[in-house]
Amino acid sequence: MKKTIFLLIIFFNPLAWAKVDLKKVDQFIQSVAAEIEVEPQWIRNILAQANHQQSIIDAMNRPAEKTLKWFEYRKIFITDKRAQEGVEFWEQHEAVLNEVSAQSGVPAEIIVAIIGVETFYGRIKGNHKVLDALYTLAFDYPKRSPFFTSELKHFLQLAQENHIDPLSAKGSYAGAMGFGQFMPSSYRAYAVDYESDQVIDLINNPQDAIASVANYLNKHKWQPGGQVLSTTEKPSVAMKFNQLKPHMKDHKTQEHYTVLELDLENGEKQYWQGFQNFYVISRYNHSHMYVSAVYELSQNIKALRAEGSAQ
């Protein structure tokens, strides 16, 4: 039986249809309405409020992970302020972090650092309307249209499931939401109702966000007690650097690893070995620099917290 959801009548918004193929939009509406069992007009009314945003496409074409070198990227996230506020976030949510870490096997400092890199502990969650971002990228970003079309469908499902307001939810230019910047599909697959109050809120509830980040890493096969990164010397043999999946084997430890080559400000290179947990964090963001920043920030937060406890 199809579910009918009442929505106030929305006037047609001509900006919603700029630079898109209306036939594809209509096909999407009909297909998704049948799949998630809602009236097509419900979807049509929501999409009528979407605005095509060229700035979103521009941002997609120049992500920091692809335009900056490591020393430039690092300066954004590895700061005293971000480490200090990480300690404060940890102390504020210590009980939740302790419980979630014990259950998932993911260290508290890793969870805190991911939220710190993603949104500065919830301070910078993004100012783009998620509907605008996903609509623009689904219908006017051909090279990744299938991915964002799927995310738009999941976004509508989140609205149907009453987890978000589709007309007001804000996030990144790619449509990621909340403290941990979950894409709609990840929101639906990995979000956790920490308080068991029948409401999963990753946008405004840091406790749900903490539990969900840990669950995401756990479901992607985090190894409790395993290494993320360790320093190493420049390899003596030619190889491809900065691959995400560990593909070489240490015959002494039997661990698989990958090797990172990171550019330093003085023109020199820094080398790291990345292990299984490095790869797990990269499932969150497919960038070796992102994982490196998360790990370094996590260690800075952990050390600063320990220093404060010792005083």
Residue 241 lies in a domain: no
Please indicate, yes or no, if residue 155 is contained in any of the structural domains.
Answer: yes
Grouping H, G, I as helix, E, B as strand and the rest as coil, residue 171 is strand
Strands 229-231 and 170-171 come out as unpaired
In a domain, 48, yes or no: yes
Please count the helices (runs of H) and the strands (runs of E) in the chain. 14, 6
Is 305 among the domain residues? Answer: no
CB 295 within 8 A of CB 279: no
pLDDT at 64: 77
**Most distant pair of Cα atoms in the chain: their distance:** 67
CA distance 309 to 301: 12
- Count of beta carbons in the 10 Å neighbourhood of residue 42: 20
Structural domain total, the chain: 1
Backbone angles phi, psi at 16, to 5 degrees: -65, -25
Q: Return the H-helix or E-strand segment holding 185.
A: helix 184-190
Residue 52 lies in a domain: yes
Structure tokens at 37: 């069992």
Is residue 185 situated within a structural domain?
yes
Residue with tokens 């097509």: 40
Question: Where does residue 286 rank: exposed (0-12), middle (13-18), buried (19+ CB within 10 A)?
Answer: exposed
- Residue-by-residue pLDDT tens, the chain, 311 positions: 444 433 333 334 444 445 778 899 999 999 999 999 999 999 999 999 999 999 999 999 988 777 899 999 999 999 999 999 999 999 999 999 999 999 999 999 999 999 999 999 999 999 999 999 999 999 999 999 999 999 999 999 999 997 899 999 999 999 999 999 999 999 999 999 999 999 999 999 999 999 999 999 999 999 999 999 999 999 988 889 999 999 999 888 899 999 999 999 999 999 999 999 999 999 999 999 999 999 999 999 999 999 987 76
> Backbone phi, then psi, for 227, in 5-degree steps?
-75, 155
**Measuring CA to CA, how many Å separate 280 from each of 33, 110, 272?**
34, 12, 16
How far apart CA 246 and CA 244 sit, in angstroms, is 6
Half-sphere CA count of 219, side-chain side, radius 13 A? 13
Judged by DSSP in three states, 249 sits in strand
CA distance 206 to 209: 5
Which residue in the list 85, 88, 118, 265 is annotated as catalytic? 118
Asked if the structure places residue 2 within a domain, the reply is no
Query: CA dihedral defined by 176, 180, 186, 191, rounded to 10 degrees?
Result: -130
* Dist. CA 231–CA 254, nearest whole Å: 18
Rounded-to-integer distance, Cα 283 and Cα 281, Å: 5
Q: What is the pLDDT of residue 11?
A: 38
What does the pLDDT read at residue 66?
Answer: 77
The residue range of the domain holding 196 is: 14-59+126-202
Confidence (pTM): 0.91
Cα separations in angstroms, 82 against 7, 58, 117, 119, 300: 42, 27, 8, 10, 9
CB 146, CB 207: distance < 8 Å: no
C-alpha closest to that of 281 among 270, 267, 291: 291
pLDDT of residue 21: 85
**Does the annotation count 91 as an active-site position?**
no
Q: Is residue 145 part of a domain?
A: yes
Bridge partners of 270, per DSSP, are 262
CA–CA separation, 116 and 128 (whole Å): 19
Task: State the pLDDT at residue 251.
Answer: 85
Look at residue 280 in the predicted model and tell me its pLDDT: 98
CATH number at residue 177: 1.10.8.350
pLDDT the model gives residue 18: 52
Buried b (16+ CB within 10 A) or exposed e, 108-146: bbbbbbbbbbbbbbbeebbebbbbbbbbbbbbbbeeeee
